[in-house]
């Protein structure tokens, strides 16, 4: 069989793939886009869009239950219609995926192939009965939930972040194994829908990459909503108990028994079934594709973008990967992965916005640093909204004034963090933030005040 020739092949239609196809096609190239399941990848189908749609429903239910706090009287108890919540979530996802599909279908220079792609050589890919070849191949294959081989795990009907999206009944008791970002969003969300929720985490604290004060505040927020949290849990195992599931942990502690179990124990890249060995593409010990600062793999003419390259596990890092590749290939703009500043959010309520270094990382670096902090109880906008859990913290270099990092755990924290992030990209010193006039009343207006009150980090 002779291979059909293209100028470029893009494998995976997540956050980096389709926009790159659009740029390449607009530049006059013929492009083959290969997707084995859903256009839009994790974000559109099982990640950001559906989960944040459900987070919004959970927030509405939570706020309604607090109506009396705001002087609002309801005629009866607040109820949750999970079927309508799921239907709303499905519509948001289907609309977004449909829009992407329509956009791709309108590209005359793009051929969409549905199926599983595997390399046959460094420039040839097979999709079912089709053989495709191109001098440029871009990988955007994403990742999936990790399922460690824990005792009894394969004897129970566990859920992952993906299968949670298909759940059509509200769990009576959801046991979440894992204490990081995905797990905690689901934990709070389903507690607000009315499920009993238990979180079991093997590490000494939740969200282990955050500073200890942030982790403690997050745990307090969850426990204030009657979510049972167990940290430092070892010897985790699973067993059926009638129609329920028992999760055992930490000798001497009673097992958690629930109706459903969610495994949120990290992610693995979708690289094990691509035939990368036939192309000569190197992967690291965890299966991530090895790339350089401009996302080129070990094989000339092959690039890797998004979750499969280990350079970031977020929609925004994947999209930025596309921007870097396109800038280098099409714009003569030598952008690099190392130019970007780490930034992300945890979408519990209140949300956590994070950018730059943590306090622990600054201390480890040995730099002399300054730190400023303010609890949300002293932020007027938070008090006015009746949402005073959390705090803000800013770190700066004591010698140069460089802004090193920031954490905003509180109402609008996922938005307020950009006030600091953009200054960091502009390489503006902390004095610029200190002298800025922000709008009142707003959570962000206290960032300049904190910048004026920095003290030595000890």
Residues with Cβ within 8 Å of residue 375, at least 6 apart in sequence: 388, 390, 391
CATH superfamily to which 153-265 belongs: FAD/NAD(P)-binding domain (3.50.50.60)
Rounded CA-CA distance 362/391 in Å is 19
- CA angle, 29 then 104 then 100, to 5°: 140
Report the phi/psi class of residue 358: left, alpha or beta, with left for phi > 0 and alpha for psi in -120 to 50. beta
What residue spans of 224-285 are helical by DSSP H? Answer: 276-279
Strands 343-346 and 352-356: antiparallel
Rounded CA-CA distance 319/19 in Å is 8
Catalytic residues: 440
Rounded CA-CA distance 366/384 in Å is 40
Q: Structural domain boundaries of the chain?
A: 4-144+268-339, 153-265, 343-456
Q: Closest Cα to residue 158, out of 172, 145, 170, 141?
A: 145
Position 2 scores a pLDDT of 83
Residues with Cβ within 8 Å of residue 378, at least 6 apart in sequence: 446
Cβ pair 118, 129 in contact under 8 A: no
As a CATH number, domain 4-144+268-339 is 3.50.50.60
Query: Backbone phi, then psi, for 90, in 5-degree steps?
Result: -60, -40
Range 343-456 has CATH code 3.30.390.30: yes
Rounded CA-CA distance 148/159 in Å is 13
What residue ranges in 122-230 does DSSP mark as E strands?
124-127, 130-133, 136-139, 143-145, 173-177, 196-200, 228-230
Q: What is the 8-class DSSP label of residue 416?
A: H
Position 1 scores a pLDDT of 67
Distant-in-sequence contacts of 447-452, Cβ < 8 A, 24+ apart: 447/392, 447/394, 447/406, 447/416, 447/419, 447/420, 449/374, 450/372, 450/373, 450/374, 450/392, 450/393, 450/394, 451/372, 451/394, 451/396, 452/372
How many CB atoms within 10 Å of residue 12? 28
Helix (H) or strand (E) holding 392: strand 391-397
Rounded CA-CA distance 294/277 in Å is 22
Rounded CA-CA distance 173/186 in Å is 13
Q: Do domains 4-144+268-339 and 343-456 have the same CATH topology?
A: no
Tens-digit pLDDT string for the chain (458 aa)? 689 999 999 999 999 999 999 999 999 999 999 999 999 999 999 999 999 999 999 999 999 999 999 999 999 999 999 999 999 999 999 999 999 999 999 999 999 999 999 999 999 999 999 999 999 999 999 999 999 999 999 999 999 999 999 999 999 999 999 999 999 999 999 999 999 999 999 999 999 999 999 999 999 999 999 999 999 999 999 999 999 999 999 988 999 999 999 999 999 999 999 999 999 999 999 999 999 999 999 999 999 999 999 999 899 999 999 999 999 999 999 999 999 999 999 999 999 999 999 999 999 999 999 999 999 999 999 999 999 999 999 999 999 999 999 999 999 999 999 999 999 999 999 999 999 999 999 999 999 999 999 999 99
């Amino acid at each position: 069989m002779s291979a059909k020739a293209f100028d470029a092949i893009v494998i995976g239609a997540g956050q980096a793939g389709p926009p790159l196809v659009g740029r390449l096609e607009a530049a006059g190239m013929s492009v083959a886009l290969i997707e084995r399941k859903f256009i839009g990848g994790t974000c559109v189908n099982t990640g950001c869009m559906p989960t944040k749609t459900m987070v919004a429903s959970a927030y509405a239910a939570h706020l309604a239950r607090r109506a009396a706090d705001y002087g609002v009287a309801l005629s009866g108890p607040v109820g949750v219609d999970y079927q309508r919540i799921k239907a709303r979530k499905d519509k948001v996802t289907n609309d977004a995926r449909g829009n992407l599909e329509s956009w791709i279908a309108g590209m005359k220079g793009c051929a969409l192939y549905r199926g599983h792609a595997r390399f046959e050589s460094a420039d040839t890919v097979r999709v079912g009965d089709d053989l495709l070849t191109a001098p440029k191949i871009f990988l955007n294959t994403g990742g999936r939930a990790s399922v460690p081989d824990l005792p009894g795990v394969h004897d129970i009907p566990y859920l992952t972040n993906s299968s949670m999206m298909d759940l059509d009944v509200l769990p009576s008791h959801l046991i979440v194994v894992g204490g990081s970002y995905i797990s905690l969003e689901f934990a709070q969300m389903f507690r607000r829908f009315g499920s009993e929720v238990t979180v079991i985490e093997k590490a000494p604290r939740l969200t282990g990459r955050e500073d200890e004060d942030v982790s403690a505040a997050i745990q307090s927020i969850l426990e204030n909503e009657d979510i049972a949290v167990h940290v430092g849990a070892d010897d985790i195992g699973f067993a059926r108990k009638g129609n329920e599931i028992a999760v055992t942990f930490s000798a001497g502690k009673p097992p958690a028994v629930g109706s459903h179990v969610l495994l949120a124990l990290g992610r693995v890249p979708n690289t094990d079934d691509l035939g990368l060995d036939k192309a000569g593409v190197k992967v690291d010990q965890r299966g991530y594709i090895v790339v350089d600062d401009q996302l080129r793999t070990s094989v000339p003419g092959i690039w890797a973008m998004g979750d499969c390259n280990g350079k970031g596990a977020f929609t925004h890092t994947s999209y930025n990967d596309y921007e870097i590749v396109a800038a280098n290939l099409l714009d003569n703009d030598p952008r690099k992965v190392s130019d970007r500043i780490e930034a992300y959010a945890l979408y519990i309520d209140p949300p956590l916005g994070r950018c730059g270094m943590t306090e622990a990382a600054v201390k480890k670096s040995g730099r002399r640093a300054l730190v400023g902090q303010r609890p949300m109880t002293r932020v007027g906008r938070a008090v006015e909204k009746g949402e005073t859990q959390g705090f803000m913290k800013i770190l700066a270099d004591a010698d140069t004034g460089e802004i090193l990092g920031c954490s905003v755990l509180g109402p609008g924290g996922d938005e307020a963090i950009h006030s600091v992030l953009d200054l960091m990209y502009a390489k503006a010193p902390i004095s610029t933030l200190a002298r800025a006039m922000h709008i009142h009343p707003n959570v962000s207006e206290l960032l300049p005040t904190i910048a004026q009150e920095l003290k030595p980090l000890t």
